C-alpha cells in the first residue's frame, strides 16, 4: 500500500505552471477532485474546453509500464464505443511526463497525464433506481468482454501478485487486521478471509479469466439523463486498479459499491446481476462464489481504509466514504447468510425480461 509521503500535494500555482509548461494551456479555473492515492484536478480553460489532470503517487510513478497499459485500455475501450476517458499528449508528443516536484517533503518524481473531461454525474449523487443498477451491471460486463480482446506486449504486468485490491489476494489483508483491534467487525473480517481460503482459492481455476477494471464504484461511473426519463452511463473513470482477474470479480466489486448509498442495499445484487447476465451468464462455480466475493470486497475496503487514514489523515473524509455504511452492510450480509442472500439476488434477477 502507498506510503504516507507518496501522495502528491501540488498547490494550484504548481498545477497552473505545470499545465502551461507541459500542455500549453492556461486554466481559468482549477478544482480539486477526490482521489485515494493520487491527486486529480478539473481544469477549466474555457466554457467548452475542460480537462482532468492526474498526478500519480510516487510509488505508481515508478511503474510507467502499468500506467501505459491503463492508458492503452482507456483508448481501446473508447475506440469501441464505451465512454472511457482518453489521454491527451503534451506539446512534446508524450502521453505521460515524469516530473520532479517538491510537494512539501522534498523533491520527488510524479507521473503526470492530461485526460478528457467527461460529462455526467457520479452514480453516488443521483437517486439510484433499479434501471441505473441494471445499466451498471450491463456496462461492467461489456467493459470486461471488450478488455479481454485487448492485445499488448506487456499484458503480463497486470498480474499484480502483491496488489492488495485484487480479489485474488484477500490473504494480504491479514497483516493489517490489528488495525481493527477492539472493533467487533474484526471477527467477521477474519471469518470471511478464512472462508475465502477454504471456498474460493481452491476454485479459482473454475472461474473465467479476464482483465478487471477493479474499481467500478459509484464515484467512478458517470450518468446522464436520456430522452426516456431514465439514465445512461456517460463515463467510466479511474483505471488505476486494473489487473488480471476473473469476470465474477468485476461483478462482485460492482454489487458491493452499488450497495453503499442505496436505501435498499439487499436488492442491489438482483438488479446489477440482471444487467450483467444480459451480457455474460455466470457459470455454476461463479454463482456459488459471488456472495462471498462481495463480502471479501467489503473487507478489503474496510481494512485498507483503516490503514490509509493513518497514512493520510487529511484525506479521511474521502477514504472513509465506504466505511460509514460498509460495516453495517457487511454485518447484515454475514448475519443473513449465503442461502438467503443468494435467493434474493438470483431468483429475482432471473425474472428480468431477457434473463428467463
What is the CA 155 to chain-centroid distance, rounded? 19
Q: Is 288 helix (H, G, I), strand (E, B) or coil?
A: helix
Q: Is the dihedral of CA 146, 84, 282, 191 positive or negative?
A: positive
Q: Closest by alpha carbon to 232, among 134, 161, 142? A: 134
Residue with cell 476454485: 203
Residue with cell 483505471: 239
Residue with cell 466489486: 253
CA distances from residue 253 to 83, 115, 140, 300 in whole angstroms, order as listed: 19, 25, 10, 10
Partner residues linked to 212 by β-bridges: 243
CA distances from residue 219 to 121, 152, 236, 252, 304 in whole angstroms, order as listed: 9, 28, 9, 16, 18
Q: Is 212 helix (H, G, I), strand (E, B) or coil?
A: strand
Catalytic residue among 37, 38, 215, 271: 215
Strand locations in 226-270, DSSP E? Answer: 231-236, 243-246
Residue 294, number of CB atoms within 10 A of its CB: 26
Q: Are 345 and 270 in contact (CB under 8 A)?
A: yes
Active site residue 215: yes
Question: What is the Cα–Cα distance from 181 to 185, expressed in whole angstroms?
Answer: 9
Long-range contacts for 48-54 (Cβ within 8 Å, ≥24 apart)?
50/117, 51/25, 51/88, 51/114, 51/115, 51/116, 51/117, 52/85, 52/114, 52/115, 52/116, 52/117, 53/15, 53/18, 53/19, 53/112, 53/113, 53/114, 53/115, 54/112, 54/113, 54/114, 54/115
Question: What is the Cα–Cα distance from 86 to 71, expressed in whole angstroms?
Answer: 7
| Active-site residue set | 215
Amino acid at each position: 500500500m502507498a506510503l504516507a509521503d507518496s501522495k502528491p500535494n501540488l498547490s494550484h500555482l504548481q498545477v497552473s505552471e505545470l499545465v502551461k509548461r507541459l500542455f500549453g494551456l492556461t486554466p481559468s479555473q482549477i478544482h480539486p477532485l477526490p482521489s485515494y492515492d493520487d491527486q486529480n484536478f478539473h481544469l477549466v480553460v474555457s466554457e467548452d474546453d475542460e480537462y482532468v489532470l492526474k498526478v500519480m503517487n510516487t510509488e505508481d510513478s515508478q511503474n510507467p509500464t502499468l500506467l501505459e497499459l491503463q492508458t492503452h485500455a482507456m483508448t481501446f475501450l473508447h475506440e469501441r464505443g464505451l465512454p472511457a476517458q482518453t489521454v491527451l499528449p503534451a506539446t512534446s508528443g508524450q502521453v505521460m511526463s515524469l516530473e520532479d516536484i517538491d510537494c512539501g517533503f522534498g523533491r520527488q518524481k510524479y507521473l503526470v497525464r492530461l485526460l478528457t473531461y467527461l460529462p455526467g454525474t457520479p452514480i453516488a449523487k443521483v437517486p439510484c433506481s433499479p434501471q441505473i443498477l441494471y445499466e451498471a451491471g450491463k456496462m461492467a460486463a461489456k467493459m470486461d468482454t471488450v478488455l479481454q480482446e485487448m492485445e499488448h506486449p506487456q499484458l503480463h504486468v497486470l498480474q499484480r501478485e502483491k496488489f492488495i485490491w485484487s480479489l485474488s489476494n484477500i490473504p494480504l489483508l491479514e497483516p493489517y487486521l490489528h488495525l481493527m483491534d477492539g472493533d467487533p467487525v474484526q471477527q467477521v473480517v477474519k471469518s470471511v478471509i478464512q472462508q475465502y481460503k477454504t471456498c474460493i482459492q481452491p476454485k479459482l481455476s473454475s472461474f473465467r479469466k479476464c482483465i478487471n477494471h477493479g474499481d467500478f464504484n459509484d464515484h467512478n461511473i458517470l450518468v446522464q439523463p436520456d430522452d426516456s426519463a431514465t439514465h445512461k452511463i456517460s463515463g467510466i473513470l479511474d483505471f488505476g486498479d486494473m489487473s488480471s482477474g476473473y469476470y465474477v470479480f468485476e461483478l462482485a466489486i460492482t454489487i458491493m459499491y452499488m450497495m453503499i448509498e442505496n436505501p435498499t442495499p439487499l436488492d442491489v445484487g438482483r438488479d446489477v446481476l440482471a444487467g450483467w447476465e444480459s451480457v455474460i451468464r455466470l457459470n455454476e462455480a461463479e454463482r456459488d462464489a459471488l456472495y462471498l466475493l462481495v463480502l471479501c470486497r467489503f473487507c478489503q475496503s474496510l481494512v485498507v481504509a483503516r490503514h490509509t487514514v493513518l497514512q493520510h489523515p487529511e484525506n479521511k473524509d474521502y477514504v472513509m466514504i465506504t466505511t460509514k455504511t460498509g460495516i453495517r452492510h457487511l454485518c447484515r450480509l454475514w448475519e443473513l447468510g449465503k442461502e438467503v442472500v443468494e435467493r434474493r439476488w438470483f431468483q429475482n434477477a432471473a425474472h428480468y425480461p431477457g434473463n428467463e
